[in-house]
Structure 1
Amino acid sequence: MDKLRKSPRGIMGFPVTPMDSRGNIDLDGLRANIDFLIKSGLSSIFVVCGAGELQSVSNDEYKEIVRVAVERTKGKVPLYTGVGGNIKQALEQARISQELGADGYLIFPPYLIDPSQDGLYAYLSTIINSTDLNAIVYNRGNCLLEVETLQKLCELPQLVGFKDGIGNIELNAELTHAIGDRLEWINGMPLAEVTMAAYLNLGFKSYSSAISNYIPHISIKYYHALLNGNKAEAREIYENVILPIHRIRKKKKGYAVALIKAGMEIVGLPVGTNVRPPVTPVEKEHYEELEHIIKKALEKYPNDVKV
């Protein structure tokens, strides 16, 4: 595979989609979010994905978000977008991504239908073949790929990565054994740092990080501790930062997105906590819990990159 057909590796940045009090997209907030992630050393940027509330933006808004993201990332890090749901909408999003200059896209599950394996292959291959951009498939929800289906998709040169959001260790072991280094293996579990130590042993060297939107240096520090076998440091960060945030995230559905915006507001990023239904903002009690955790984390692990 040539250099073009290579997925980003390491910690991947997934910006939110900032919104004002009336629910309109705040493009200046998005610029600040992307700039902060790049300056913090993340390997790539993925816009309008799960954290970016892909399910809640129109294609016109999608186009503006991608346009800003291309402007901020060009020549710095690879830019990927989120596409998926309704097949026609996914194809339009893929077309927009190619026309505006993205490097690739992450394909989300199809809308509602619980498809067969040949149906999933048809859905994913149609999107992958619609452009020349790199593609990463997302194993989650109703898009659960079996080994044979993923092997068949690997015949398409645009496919560069597999992101797992299910946590089926047995299946992941089988997939990585069968396919090897043909794909980049990406941990896409909610707050991926929680499970990354287990994923490393299967060959997963990359992950999408929710906390990197507000404490990226701590995620990077944890990642390096795992890679270098520094168990004491990894355990300390896990117990003092990652697990406490994870416990708050589990308290209410939708916090996978809302808690990120709360954390970003706490550290001073200009994004606000507004979200679109069905996601709801973080409750005051949980916001204060997160604020306390972040304050203690920043005292112990100061950030050199200023907001």
Structure 2
Amino acid sequence: MGIKRQSPTGILGFPVAPLKENGELDLKGLEANIDFLLESGLQSVFVACGAGELHALTQEEYKVMVEAVVKQVDGRVPVYTGVGGNISHALEQAEISEEAGADGYLILPPYLIDPSQDGLYNYLKAIIESTDLSAIVYQRDKCILTKETLLALCELPQLVGFKDGVGNMEFNTEAVQLIGDRLEWINGMPLAEVTMAAYYNLGYRTYSSAISNYIPHISAKYFEALQQGDGKTVRELHEEVILPIHSIRKRKEGYAVSLIKAGMNIVGLPVGTTVRPPIAPVEPEHYEELKGILEKALENYPVPEKTVEVS
């Protein structure tokens, strides 16, 4: 019998790579990040991806992170890793992920090169076929596919999902209509809550949430309102929380990572705000602005109290 494959669905959690002030990996901070995501109801964990500063990790740090997270999650939710960059590193990361017991991996783009479609196909095919883990292709930066290339990749049984970080709605419409439920369609746009309503109408039912690292209950409230057609709540959350945070995020390259750590620091998670070059930390005035947004958001939308089951 073949393996029954299924991509993670719903809101996907992307933990950071917590760093000590001296730049060393902070595994205690990572453990706190994972615990917070699991306690908040996130349905999967994607470790060492974009938010996890894959580009700046050594292969040994990568191995340590993946092994630690797989052990900590202990099968409660699917664990995916990030693989990418040069093909040799990507294949090694795929092997590490398989040996550690991960469920699959998200393939990030190769860097620097503007590849042809056959070159991209060969790159992605080599990684997808290198293990028996489930794979998700991430369309962004130097990995822009035609629908024909994506359709050809669908012949590989390991491929379970397509994550879009480009926002070409014509492509997305055609791809979803052509391929249908063969893949899980994942919104990977910057601060995906900004665009998820448009993606939802195309057939996308899953997204990666940066704000779930520090206000996951608001991300969940937004997605529930979107699914139920509650336009009033969607608009309120956009106006009061999502768009103000997105406005800060757009002010400086690299805030896709450093602003997440700032938000986590503001809500009291012990991950610090240290990032590795070329990413820069959040400017003090932007940090204070984010702090004000979060304080108001938590006042207007408090974290729900956890219910305790009595046996």
TM range (shorter): over 0.9
**Code of the aligned partner of 1:147:** K
Give the drift of 1:3: 6.7
Please give the root-mean-square deviation of Cα atoms over the aligned residues, in Å: 1.1
Give the match for residue 24 of structure 2.
24
Secondary structure in 1 matching 2:202: coil
Give the match for residue 125 of structure 2.
125
The correspondence of residues 4-19 of structure 1 with structure 2, limited to 5 A, is 4-19=4-19
Give the match for residue 33 of structure 2.
33
Give the drift of 1:303: 1.1
Q: 1:137 and 1:90 mapped to 2: Cα distance? A: 13
**Code of the aligned partner of 1:82:** G
* Cα distance change of structure 1 residues 305 and 137 upon mapping to structure 2, 3 Å threshold: farther
Q: 1:109 and 1:252 mapped to 2: Cα distance? A: 21
Give the match for residue 103 of structure 1.
103
Secondary structure in 2 matching 1:25: coil
Q: 2:99 and 2:12 mapped to 1: Cα distance? A: 23
Secondary structure in 2 matching 1:175: helix
CA contact (8 A) 1:39 1:305 kept: no
CA contact (8 A) 1:79 1:102 kept: yes
The correspondence of residues 149-188 of structure 1 with structure 2, limited to 5 A, is 149-188=149-188
Q: 1:46 and 1:8 mapped to 2: Cα distance? A: 10
Which ranges of 4 or more aligned residues in structure 1 deviate by more than 6 Å? Answer: none
Give the drift of 1:305: 6.6
Q: 1:197 and 1:87 mapped to 2: Cα distance? A: 35
**Code of the aligned partner of 2:178:** A
Give the drift of 1:4: 3.3
Q: 1:177 and 1:117 mapped to 2: Cα distance? A: 21
Give the match for residue 199 of structure 1.
199
**Code of the aligned partner of 1:76:** R
Report Cα offsets for 1:169-204 as digits up to 9, x if no partner.
011001101100000000000100000000001110
Q: TM-score, normalised by structure 1?
A: 0.98
Secondary structure in 2 matching 1:98: helix
Secondary structure in 2 matching 1:12: strand
Give the match for residue 52 of structure 2.
52
Give the drift of 1:75: 2.0
Larger displacement relative to structure 2 (156-165 or 73-82): 73-82
Give the match for residue 239 of structure 2.
239
Q: 1:255 and 1:305 mapped to 2: Cα distance? A: 31
Give the match for residue 309 of structure 2.
none
**Code of the aligned partner of 1:110:** P
The correspondence of residues 70-85 of structure 1 with structure 2, limited to 5 A, is 70-85=70-85
Give the drift of 1:141: 0.4
Give the match for residue 217 of structure 1.
217
Q: 2:160 and 2:35 mapped to 1: Cα distance? A: 25
When the two structures are aligned, how many residues end up with a matched partner?
Answer: 306
CA contact (8 A) 1:187 1:208 kept: yes
The correspondence of residues 234-273 of structure 1 with structure 2, limited to 5 A, is 234-273=234-273
Q: TM-score, normalised by structure 2?
A: 0.97
Give the match for residue 226 of structure 1.
226
Report Cα offsets for 1:277-304 as digits up to 9, x if no partner.
0000000000000000000000111113
The correspondence of residues 279-294 of structure 1 with structure 2, limited to 5 A, is 279-294=279-294
Structure 1 position 276 matched with structure 2 position 276: yes
CA contact (8 A) 1:254 1:279 kept: yes
Give the drift of 1:111: 1.9
**Code of the aligned partner of 1:107:** I
Give the match for residue 67 of structure 1.
67
CA contact (8 A) 1:40 1:305 kept: no
Give the drift of 1:222: 0.1
Give the match for residue 145 of structure 1.
145
Q: 1:82 and 1:304 mapped to 2: Cα distance? A: 31
Secondary structure in 1 matching 2:291: helix
Give the match for residue 112 of structure 1.
112
Structure 2 unaligned regions, length at least 5 = 307-311
Give the drift of 1:110: 1.0
